Chains A and B, each alone.
Chain A
Amino acid sequence: MKIRTLALTAAVLLAGTAHAVEFNQVDAGKSTLAFSSKQMGVPVPGNFKRFTSQIAFDPAKPTAASTTLEIDLASIDAGSKDANDEVVGKQWFNVKAFPTAKFVSTGVKALGGNRYEALGKMTIKGQTRDLVAPFTFKQEGASGVFDGGFVLKRMDYNIGEGPWADVSAVANEIEIKFHVVANAATKK
């Protein structure tokens, strides 16, 4: 009995070293995607309620990591009912023609410590731009927690056309903050 337990423990330990731990099961319920716009100097917080993301992140080999993120733009909460009705419209996201925004990573850089940088392409409203998203990684039990943020210039993607192109009313810079929780699965 004792020998069997020992053998089992050894097998588990061996498996642990032989197969790296990869965080790749995103927990949508614990992940959030928030943003803050500035209207006449007033920070107005908002978020997206629905988005799906795939992550493959092995802390031992961070540069091999990859991620994709797809945001359901109609799930936006931009701070008020008026704003929510407005931003799905043609001049803003035009969700009828472009229902989702998509980020696909092309690489991950290790910046030292628990700091990393995801490089990739963001596509919103038919416009694709290079994007750099710094983030931190933290292991909490069986979960990996990714926290990061970046500034997105809305005019790069024509978010807010016509009169809304006036960045003195709504600033060009939109602060994006993401918090993604992914569980580990053993890599084969």
Chain B
Amino acid sequence: MNFTPPRYTGPAIAAHWVIAALILVAFPLGVYMHELPLSPTKLKLYSYHKWIGITVLLLFVPRILWRITHRPPAPLPMPAWQHRIAEGTHHLLYLLMFLVPLSGWLMSSAKGFQVVYFGVLPLPDLVGKSEDLGDLLKEVHEALNFGLLALVGLHVAGTLKHMIIDKDGTLRRMLPFAK
């Protein structure tokens, strides 16, 4: 059969991989940096982490607008329950793509450290400085991140299942240079 399933649109593919790459850097960076003793390196890593997070937040806006105005290609044949799980995972991933960086920004404000994008563009503090709120938001940021980790794991596991077991073209629809 010479059937080529429809692919995601170019902007959707670009946004998917750019944001995926940013998350793949920011997540381990966050895990690593928060245990470090205070040092210039720690201050730098925190800043890089925040800049990446704000970039994800900025890219999220056009991405979600594009997603709303452009329907993704119809799913390949699969049981309805699998499709529901895939779709639910996608929706939750979108939600966390927004909530994870937002909770980080809130946490930074509450801890008394304004976010200055790339060290030059000061972003407004979303909440006032408060130790209790800062500690709470740290927990929230952490919990949301482990939620994100679980969902990315499920998302990747689904992709692998389609690649290895189903051998269908699911991943190809999202690959940047596939035909």
Choose among B38, B39, B41, B47 the residue that contacts A42 (Cβ–Cβ < 8 A).
B47
Instruction: Give residues of chain B (10-39) contacting chain A, Cβ–Cβ below 8 Å.
Output: 38-39
Residue of A nearest to B121 (CB): A41
Residues of A within 8 A of B113 (CB): 39, 42, 44, 79-80
Residues of B within 8 A of A168 (CB): 40
Residues of B in contact with A (beta carbons under 8 Å apart): 38-41, 43-44, 46-47, 111-116, 118-120, 122
Residues of A in contact with B (beta carbons under 8 Å apart): 39-45, 79-80, 82-83, 85-86, 163-164, 166, 168-170
* Distance (whole angstroms) from the CB of B104 to the closest CB of chain A: 14
Residues of B within 8 A of A39 (CB): 43, 113
Known: A44-B113, A82-B38. A169 touches B43 (CB 8 A): yes
Choose among A43, A45, A166 the residue that contacts B40 (Cβ–Cβ < 8 A).
A166
**Complex Cα–Cα for A86 and B39 (A):** 9
**Complex Cα–Cα for A164 and B47 (A):** 16
Interface of A is mostly: mixed
**Complex Cα–Cα for A82 and B116 (A):** 20
Given contacts A82-B38, A83-B38, A163-B40, 13 further A-B contacts (CB under 8 A): A40-B44, A41-B116, A41-B118, A42-B47, A42-B114, A42-B115, A43-B122, A44-B112, A79-B112, A79-B113, A80-B112, A80-B113, A164-B39
Q: Are B40 and A170 in contact (CB under 8 A)?
A: yes
Q: Are B114 and A169 in contact (CB under 8 A)?
A: no
Known: A79-B112, A80-B112, A169-B43. A41 touches B119 (CB 8 A): yes
Residue of B nearest to A164 (CB): B40
Q: Are A163 and B112 in contact (CB under 8 A)?
A: no
**Complex Cα–Cα for A164 and B37 (A):** 13
Q: Are B112 and A41 in contact (CB under 8 A)?
A: no
Residue of B nearest to A41 (CB): B119
Residues of B within 8 A of A44 (CB): 112-113
